[in-house]
A and B are shown apart, each in its own frame.
Chain A
Amino acid sequence: MQKVNIIIEVNGKKISEAIEPDMTLFDFVRAHGCYSVKCGCETSNCGLCTVFLEDKPVLSCSVLAVRADEKRVTTLEGLQEEAAEFGAFIADQGAEQCGFCNPGLIMNALALFREIEFPTEEEIKEYLSGNLCRCSGYEGQLRGIQDFLSWKKEKGVRA
């Protein structure tokens, strides 16, 4: 294997390294301490490995790390405040049992709020349909999201 030199900005910190050409972005961010990023399916389906690549949510398990060269990557570790604020509403609903899928869901929900400030129920369901949870029926998460949106509307703050 011929190693490739890359520079990737992870949560604001530039990391330069020589990596194997088939290393995934998922393995790369985990190797640099971003343990919120999980792999749940290995078939590009579950959404647990969601990170932002240049602010767009992507499945990090399906991105070659070399393709993120000279790009910005954001994981939940880089969005602590935003994530905690929103995550509290999911927790209030006791929405999840095991919580394994939670970081991926939060990442994609934050991406949704950035794209559509106050999404409708249909828009929420459509945007988050690629985030699978195997404990719940998604009802708790949906209530948590709607509570968060009403709170945000009342406060008049932008998420």
Chain B
Amino acid sequence: MVTIREYKKSESLEEAWELNQKKSNRILGGMLWLRQGNNVIQTAIDLSGLGLDTIEETDKEFRIGCMVSLRELEQHAGLTKYTGGAMREALRHIVGVQFRNLATVGGSIFGRFGFSDVLTMFLTMDSYVELYKGGIVSLEEFAKSKPDNDILVRLIVKKEQVHFAYQSVRNTQTDFPVLTCGAAKLADGSYRFAIGARPGRAVLFHGIPENLVTGTNLRGSAEYRKHLADVLVKRTTKLLDEANMTGEER
């Protein structure tokens, strides 16, 4: 159970940031993960009144507000087209529609959760986070860093000449993944892979993954995960090569 003593719907990012400097205060995302623990929160900070719930698409990039829901990402026509359906594939197994209508992309990425399909998919793309104080940082760097008291304002995905594929292995359809794999094939023929649910945080490989570090938990052993990673890398590579053959342009 989570206990919240005060609730503040922020009127500005500055106000939210100031409140968030106190350790006992927390910014709310979709609250799906936050509510699972026994947390006592002095002030819950709500960013939902700041207009950060939109996806903007230009010729060069997507700008995705931190309060955009996973369901909105999954259903966005521009993202579906750009990722060749990989974004949708990454999200559709996450619990259920009702859950994804609540879970926010900001909460998923800021949490840098090991199990995150969302982090895996965004790492596969040329993604950046815009932090209120920290400015624009590559997601690859952000994914390695420790959570601090800054605010993730939005995600930026730079468009490339690229094809994407995404696959995960789950013990049951809507469970946490045992392993996740996002793959990209760039215009010069090179590949990029993000492997998550190792069960540690997703990591990015420029090229075929080597020296992947996996671990053991209830869902699978380190050895099993290594094996799965080889299989998913092969399968996604096959999907990407097929997509390339059809000469799809985007």
A interface residue numbers (CB < 8 A to B): 1-2, 4, 21-22, 43-45, 47, 50, 53, 56-59, 62-64, 66-67, 108, 111-112, 126-131
Contact = CB atoms under 8 A, between A and B. Distances in A.
A58 B35 CA distance: 15
A67 to B, nearest CB: 7
A70 to B, nearest CB: 11
Interface string B8-33: 01000000000000000000101110
Given A22-B44, A45-B99, 12 more contacts: A2-B6, A2-B7, A44-B32, A44-B35, A44-B99, A50-B98, A57-B97, A59-B98, A62-B30, A62-B31, A64-B31, A64-B44
Contacts, number: 78
Contacts of A44: 32, 35-36, 95, 99
B48 A21 contact: no
Interface of chain A: mostly helix, strand, loop or mixed = mixed
Contacts of B35: 44, 62
B46 interface: yes
B92 A62 contact: no
Interface string B44-55: 101010000000
A128 B2 CA distance: 28
B4 interface: yes
B102 interface: yes
Given A21-B44, A67-B46, A130 B99 contact: yes
B6 A21 contact: yes
A43 B36 contact: yes
A65 B174 CA distance: 26
Contact of A1 (B5, B9, B96): B5
